[in-house]
């Protein structure tokens, strides 16, 4: 059995956002409603960091009997695509969450957002700016110095209205003008120094086509979208803390329903990049086979690697929700998966790097069907039979000609048990003319089978094996960290990449029951780890397996040391 930490590792305590909602409900705020949203920008596939936000937003809504919207924050037509929208929907669903009919798009609100911008101009709270992006930056000042007012800041309202309308009509080229909020060029918060609300972009939008020649900035779109949807708790990551004053300012200036923004720490993982820019780079520069490459930290990559939605949700629960940034050990994610698969995955035998064994005292042509338990952790998983015969494969690494003292596997003269079968003893080592071991000649103890007179005889090691005659040859893909650095963000791609992150073995030998593994079916290959029949490349009858994770539990070790 695998070491289990479930009793030592309490699940995360209720976090600060949870407490805020409880207090709000107790105080009768929002008429007792809890309404959250998950607002991805459709400019890439979702990753494990997004899963944290999804579990938080959908989880809170579930817990408090509220609702969570799926809202695509699609305000940047240049980087957004329908493919990303589809993948995001698939991934949120797969994670086990449901937005019912509340699939929204910031682009659905472009008309309303424009009218609100006009309202702001009419109130003297926004103006059209002619300065270039560089000039705006110069005028903005620094953290230690206040900014300067733009020469266009006091443009008459009428002129602002006309210019903004002309911007909308496409009369100016990209970058010629922007609309800015008129707030305070001396504010200690840089976001309040007359932030840009609209920019000109002559680009096709994946939903609105060429209807719009101006597009709202995040700060103008986000809070107002929250307001339109009646969001009560708008939860985002810490880097938006400094945007909260602007979020509040916009809603107050318009005098519309005012949701509240709360910030939490984003997930960082060891050996992993979660920045979308870098994930896009991995895909476009073909360092991986695509967004769903099993080495990617994307939801689709993790799914293909063999992770389950339950394990990802469990992980998100355990890491908790805090106000301070930190980095989580990647092995915790693997730990959560092993906790589940240990109980659910059928245990089978597969030899990844075969070495042939001939049992010289086993009758030629004889085949025995041995009974094997599918999972000792799950009595309902039942039994299957495995054929045993005179010629077998064992794992190359389970034999050493000249072993060190504590090598409890096979060596000349040594005995081991074959799982579900007999005790064998190594009598002779056969080599080729290069001196490589090609075959072992062993004898078996016919009375050592389960139920036999010497079944209880103690030998130190137990090996997995498959019968040569019955084995299924298959491709198996072994994965290691995509990055060799624990903090890969500190180094550029490709220098940060692990050159050995994928090893493909084409002639693995599997027990016959694996021949018809269905794509997506998960197994424990005894002693070798958890594996999944690849959902893209594997076919029933011709399986291809991905190793999800080895059995070794580094998280358990870290816990013991700590
Ligand atoms: P990037 O900054 O890499 O482009 P993003 O945060 O802009 O990513 P979005 O699509 O805008 O990506 O994110 C949607 C939601 O997911 C946001 O509310 C964001 O705060 C949250 N999110 C993104 N990354 C993480 C993370 N690593 N941990 C927790 N939440 C995250
Ligand atoms: Mg974002």
Assess if residue 217 is contained within a domain: yes
- Residues 248 and 367 placed together within one structural domain of the fold: no
Confidence of residue 345 (pLDDT cuts 50, 70, 90): very high
Q: What length is written for the chain?
A: 562
**256 Cα: distance to centroid of ligand 2 (angstroms):** 24
Residue 552 is predicted with a pLDDT of 80
Burial class from Cβ neighbours inside 10 Å (0-12, 13-18, 19+) for residue 232 reads: buried
**304 Cα: distance to centroid of ligand 1 (angstroms):** 22
Nearest CA to ligand 1 atom 10: 40
Residue 4 is predicted with a pLDDT of 40
**320 Cα: distance to centroid of ligand 1 (angstroms):** 16
Ligand index nearest the alpha carbon of residue 53: 1
Q: Is the pLDDT of residue 8 over 70?
A: no
Assess if residue 152 is contained within a domain: yes
pLDDT in tens, 180-207: 999 999 999 999 999 999 999 999 999 9
Assess if residue 12 is contained within a domain: no
- Residues 260 and 354 placed together within one structural domain of the fold: no
Ligand 1 site, residue 281, Cβ cutoff 6 A: no
Tell which of 264, 289, 309 closes a domain: 264
Residue 558 is predicted with a pLDDT of 60
Active-site residue, selected from the candidate residues 153, 266, 419, 527: 266
**41 Cα: distance to centroid of ligand 2 (angstroms):** 6
Report the DSSP beta bridge partners of residue 423.
417, 445
Clarify whether 266 is annotated catalytic: yes
Tell which of 264, 282, 306 closes a domain: 264
Task: Give the mean model confidence (pLDDT) for residues 283-287.
Answer: 98
Tell which of 238, 264, 290 closes a domain: 264
25 sits in the region (left: phi over 0; alpha: psi -120 to 50; else beta) called alpha
Ligand 1 site, residue 57, Cβ cutoff 6 A: no
Q: Is the pLDDT of residue 562 over 50?
A: no
Confidence of residue 555 (pLDDT cuts 50, 70, 90): low
Pick from 15, 49, 225, 265 the residue to mutate for probing ligand 1's pocket: most ligand atoms within 8 Å of its CB.
49
- Residues 385 and 260 placed together within one structural domain of the fold: no
- Quote the CA–CA distance of 167 and 115 in Å, as a whole number: 14
Confidence of residue 3 (pLDDT cuts 50, 70, 90): very low
Ranking 357-361, 471-475, 557-561 by mean pLDDT, the lowest is 557-561
Helix or strand (DSSP H, E) at 350 = strand 350-351
Which of 259, 253, 212, 207 lies closest to 233 in space, CA to CA? Answer: 259
Ligand index nearest the alpha carbon of residue 266: 1
32 sits in the region (left: phi over 0; alpha: psi -120 to 50; else beta) called left
- Residues 366 and 237 placed together within one structural domain of the fold: no
**47 Cα: distance to centroid of ligand 2 (angstroms):** 13
Q: What percent of the chain has pLDDT over 90?
A: 94
Assess if residue 44 is contained within a domain: yes
- Residues 201 and 100 placed together within one structural domain of the fold: yes
What pTM was computed for the model? Answer: 0.94
Clarify whether 41 is annotated catalytic: yes
Assess if residue 358 is contained within a domain: yes
pLDDT in tens, 46-64: 999 999 999 999 999 999 9
Number of domains in the chain: 2
Ligand 1 site, residue 243, Cβ cutoff 6 A: no
Residue 80 is predicted with a pLDDT of 85
Nearest CA to ligand 1 atom 13: 40
pLDDT in tens, 63-92: 999 999 999 999 999 998 999 999 999 999
- Residues 256 and 360 placed together within one structural domain of the fold: no
Assess if residue 515 is contained within a domain: no
Ligand 1 site, residue 70, Cβ cutoff 6 A: no
The CATH code of the domain that includes 246 is 3.40.50.620
Task: Give the mean model confidence (pLDDT) for residues 275-290.
Answer: 97
pLDDT in tens, 219-233: 999 999 999 999 999
Assess if residue 527 is contained within a domain: no
Its domain, for residue 237, covers 33-264
- Residues 46 and 184 placed together within one structural domain of the fold: yes
Q: Is the pLDDT of residue 10 over 60?
A: no
- Residues 227 and 101 placed together within one structural domain of the fold: yes
How is residue 204 written in tokens? 């096709």
Q: Is the pLDDT of residue 9 over 50?
A: no
Active-site residue, selected from the candidate residues 2, 41, 317, 485: 41
Please report the atom of ligand 1 found closest to the CA of residue 73.
Answer: 11
Report the DSSP beta bridge partners of residue 533.
545
Taking residue 65's Cβ as centre, other Cβ atoms within 10 Å add up to 10
Q: Is the pLDDT of residue 12 over 60?
A: no
Please report the atom of ligand 1 found closest to the CA of residue 53.
Answer: 30
Written as one string, the DSSP assignment of 241-299 is GGGHHHHHHHHHHHT----EEEEEPPEEETT----HHHHHHHHHTTSSSSTT-TTSSBH
**Mean per-residue pLDDT of the chain:** 95
Ligand 1 site, residue 132, Cβ cutoff 6 A: no
- Residues 209 and 114 placed together within one structural domain of the fold: yes
Ligand 1 site, residue 325, Cβ cutoff 6 A: no
Residue 401 is predicted with a pLDDT of 97
User: Rg (Cα) of the chain, in Å, rounded?
Assistant: 31
- Quote the CA–CA distance of 211 and 205 in Å, as a whole number: 8
- Residues 356 and 260 placed together within one structural domain of the fold: no
Assess if residue 97 is contained within a domain: yes
Ligand 1 site, residue 274, Cβ cutoff 6 A: yes
Asked if 181 and 191 count as a contact pair (C-beta separation under 8 A), the reply is no
Residue 13 is predicted with a pLDDT of 57
**Per-residue H/E/C for 28-89:** CHHHHCCEEEECCCCCCCCEHHHHHHHHHHHHHHHHCCCEEEEEECCCCCCCCCHHHHHHHH
**Backbone φ, ψ for residue 524 (5° rounding):** -100, 120
**410 Cα: distance to centroid of ligand 2 (angstroms):** 55
- Residues 360 and 257 placed together within one structural domain of the fold: no
The CATH code of the domain that includes 444 is 2.40.240.10
């Amino acid at each position: 059995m695998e070491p289990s930490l479930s009793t030592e590792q309490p699940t995360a305590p209720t976090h600060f956002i949870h407490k805020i909602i409880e207090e709000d409900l107790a105080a009768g705020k929002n008429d007792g409603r809890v309404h959250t949203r998950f607002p991805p920008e459709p400019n890439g596939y979702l990753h494990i960091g997004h899963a944290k936000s999804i579990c938080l937003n959908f989880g809170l809504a579930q817990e408090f009997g509220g609702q969570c919207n799926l809202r695509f924050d699609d305000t940047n037509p240049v980087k957004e695509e329908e493919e990303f929208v589809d993948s995001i929907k698939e991934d949120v669903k797969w994670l086990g969450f449901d937005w019912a009919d509340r699939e929204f798009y910031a682009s659905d609100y472009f008309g309303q957002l424009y009218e609100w911008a006009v309202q702001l101009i009419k109130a003297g709270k926004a103006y059209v700016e002619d300065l270039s992006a560089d000039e705006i930056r110069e005028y903005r000042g620094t953290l230690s110095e206040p900014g300067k007012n733009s020469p266009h800041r006091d443009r008459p309202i009428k002129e602002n209205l006309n210019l903004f309308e002309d911007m909308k009509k496409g009369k100016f080229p990209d970058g010629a003008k922007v609309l800015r909020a008129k707030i305070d060029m001396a504010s200690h918060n840089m976001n309040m120094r007359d932030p840009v609300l609209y920019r000109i972009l002559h680009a096709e939008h994946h939903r609105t086509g060429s209807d719009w020649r101006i597009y709202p900035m995040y700060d103008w779109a986000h809070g107002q979208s929250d307001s339109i949807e009646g969001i009560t708790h708008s939860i985002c990551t810490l880097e938006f803390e400094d945007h909260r004053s602007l979020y509040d300012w916009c809603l107050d200036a318009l005098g519309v329903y005012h949701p509240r923004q709360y910030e939490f720490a984003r997930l960082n993982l060891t050996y992993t990049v979660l920045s979308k820019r870098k994930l896009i780079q991995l895909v476009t520069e073909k360092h991986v086979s695509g967004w769903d490459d099993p080495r990617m930290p994307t939801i689709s990559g993790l799914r293909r690697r063999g992770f389950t939605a339950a394990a990802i949700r469990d992980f998100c629960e355990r890491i908790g929700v805090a106000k301070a940034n930190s980095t989580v050990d990647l092995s915790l994610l693997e730990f959560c998966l092993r906790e589940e698969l240990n109980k659910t995955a059928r245990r089978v035998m597969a030899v990844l790097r075969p070495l042939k064994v001939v049992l010289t005292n086993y009758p030629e042509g004889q085949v025995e069907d041995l009974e094997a338990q599918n999972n000792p952790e799950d009595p309902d998983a039942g039994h299957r039979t495995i054929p045993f015969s005179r010629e077998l494969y064992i794992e190359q690494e389970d034999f050493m000609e000249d072993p060190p003292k504590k090598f409890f596997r096979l060596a000349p003269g040594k005995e081991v048990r074959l799982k579900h079968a007999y005790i064998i003893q190594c009598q002779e080592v056969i080599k080729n003319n290069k001196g490589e071991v090609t075959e072992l000649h062993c004898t078996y103890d016919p009375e050592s089978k389960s139920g036999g007179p010497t079944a209880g005889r103690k030998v130190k090691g137990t090996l997995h094996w498959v019968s040569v005659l019955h084995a299924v040859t298959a491709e198996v893909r072994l994965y290691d960290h995509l990055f060799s650095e624990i903090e890969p963000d500190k180094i550029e791609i490709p220098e940060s990449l692990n050159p050995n992150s994928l090893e493909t073995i084409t002639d693995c030998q599997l027990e016959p029951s694996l021949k018809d593994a269905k794509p997506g079916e998960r197994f424990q290959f005894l002693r070798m780890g958890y594996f999944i029949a690849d959902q893209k490349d594997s076919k029933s009858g011709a399986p291809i397996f991905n190793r999800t994770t080895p059995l070794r539990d580094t998280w358990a070790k870290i816990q013991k040391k700590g």
